[in-house]
Structure 1
Amino acid sequence: MLQIVIPAYNEERRLPRTLRELRRHVTAHRGVLGRVEVLVVDNASTDRTAEVARAADSAALPVRVVRCARRGKGAAVRAGLLATDAELVCFMDADGATGLDAIEEAWRHLLLGADVVIGSRALAGSTTEARHCRTRSLGAAAYRRLAGRLVPGVADTQCGFKVFRGSVARQAARRLRTAGFSFDVELLVRLRATGAEIQEIPVTWTDVPGSTFVPSRHGAAAFAELARIAWRCRSLDRPAPVGAPAPVALVGSH
């Protein structure tokens, strides 16, 4: 069974389309994916996010709403991952920006031995359509450089598509403390510290209007979170003891 976590804060407009496309995709690939369930995490929304999520529930794609009163994407993803019980779990953004073909590709990598598969817009073979202004692009480049110091070799920590072995995801989520947009970095740091094999895959990604991330409002907080992650996880990058799992192998990173 595969459970897909979708964090959602005031997503009543974008979420229905994402769930419709996901239902069609899952139905078309049922022979590969088997049973799939969606957990929409209502992150203290003030609109009809929870209502539209429940309305999308169907036999073809069961949809369950998980409430998370603590505001922040990291808090929502943590709550969603901890509410799962499947062997394989995924989280994806409510805007459906990442092409759904990534699900089968990630599945294949997990079957071949990966513990974590993350979508990467930075790998050769990725297709991205973005409408970012120059200021946002410069800020993103600076963020990537700093995140790369915490998770060396990972080309894109922030793509909103990641698939895990369920037990690995829940173990890391229990220790996750970052509530905001930089949670991906802490999650990857903690996964790497456990010896999890992390692989990146190229994706098709389209910038969908309506993002709740506003650089002028959230940018400084995201950088501050990176500093806190570096302090919080400072002991996790020590050399592994003899007999510990092999270092993480990355696909497509050089």
Structure 2
Amino acid sequence: MPPSQPGDERASRPPLLEVVVPARNEEQRLPGGLLELCAKLARMPFPTAVIVVDNNSTDRTAEIVKNWPRGAVPIRLLRCAIPGKGAAVRAGLLGTTAPFVGFCDADMATDLDAIDAACGLLLSGERVVIGSRGHAGSHVENRHSKIRELGAFGFRALAGVLVPGVSDTQCGFKFFDGVLARETAALLRTPGFAFDVELLARCVGRGSPVREIAVRWHDKPGSSFSPARHTFGIVLELGRIWLRLRAQSRTPARPAWEPPLDPVGYP
């Protein structure tokens, strides 16, 4: 039997950090994104792992993950039949077991050096650490149209009602205490793009404030979000989140039955 390699020994140990990557028809962007992520996680001073959640892809997304070469950072494939980024992230978080977990987008638009800062804060006792493009120290390269920028401004105003004090709920870079993430993900009922708002609002409601950190963020082509197609659904999602959280505040006891995920996701 050949001697084990350092990467094999590391991969066999339980991860301290697991990173979830939601993916829907990401065969073009996923390989490069996974290369970046694995290279970064392999340099961390503790075992790490990646979970890619295939969200009803019709391309080679799942095949890419299944055939990914074995390395120092194990990659696991999960499937989520419920359409929507929120549903995929929820499934990924519920599939974790590590003490610390997070998620990031397949395009790795957020510079992954921010993982160092996020993990440092988690190790120091913070329970929710998110990248914020609104942070004074962030560097943002944005190619969005004026219409999309206007829509983002309106979204931030509405999200601010649900998560006061958080300048950017939608940056696809969020890290958590693992137990908190799994307990909160189990309560999520928003499958679409506004799921971040419900996730953060529920964390705050459980006594875990949100810590925002500076990031370097570069807008990359290929986003599935379309203002024309998704704005109305997102407004509906925010309204449902507000009603759900308001009802929860009036009824602190958890009901024996919970409604399924709202059917507002990818069209």
Q: Per-residue displacement from partner, 1:74-126 (whole Å, max 9, x unpaired)?
A: 00000000000111101000111010011110011112210010110001110
Is 1:148 the counterpart of 2:163 in the alignment? no
Q: Which runs of 5+ in 1 are unaligned?
A: 241-254
* Residue aligned with 2:144, SS: coil
| 1:18 has 2:30 as partner | no
Q: Distance in 2 between matches of 1:51 and 1:36?
A: 22
Listed one character per residue, the Cα deviations across residues 20-59 of structure 1 (whole Å, up to 9, x for unaligned) are 11122122x232xx11111000001000001112222422
Aligned with 1:18: secondary structure?
Answer: helix
Q: Secondary structure at the match of 2:246?
A: coil
State how far apart, in whole Å, the 2-side matches of 1:87 and 1:112 are: 13
What letter matches 1:14 in structure 2? R
Alignment of 1:178 with 2:178, yes or no, is no
What residue number does 2:84 align with? 72
Q: Distance in 2 between matches of 1:95 and 1:59?
A: 21
Secondary structure at the aligned position of 1:124 is classed as coil
Q: Give the letter for the 1:119 counterpart.
A: G
Structure 2 distance, partners of 1:22, 1:152, is 31
Match of 1:93 in 2: 105
Partners of 1:151 and 1:23 in 2: CA distance: 32
Deviations 1:144-183 (A, max 9, x none): 0000011000010000000001000000000000010000
Distance in 1 separating the partners of 2:67 and 2:215: 29
Instruction: Among all aligned residue pairs of Structure 1 and Structure 2, give the percentage whose two residues are the same amino acid.
Output: 54
Tell me by how many angstroms 1:197 deviates.
Answer: 3.1
Q: TM-score, normalised by structure 2?
A: 0.86
Question: Is the aligned partner of 1:30 residue 2:44?
Answer: yes
The answer for unaligned runs of 5 or more in structure 2 is 1-15, 253-267
* CA RMSD, Structure 1 to Structure 2 (Å): 1.3
- The 1:155–1:236 alpha-carbon spacing in structure 2 relative to 1, beyond 3 Å, is farther
Cα distance in 1, alignment partners of residues 41 and 243 from structure 2: 41
Give the corresponding residue for 1:231.
243
Q: Corresponding residue for 2:22?
A: 7
| Aligned counterpart, 1:168 | 180
Rg (Cα) greater in structure: 2
SS at match of 2:151: helix
Q: Matched residues in 2 for 1:23 and 1:55: separation?
A: 15
Q: Which amino acid aligns with 2:127?
A: D
1:121 aligned onto 2:127 = no
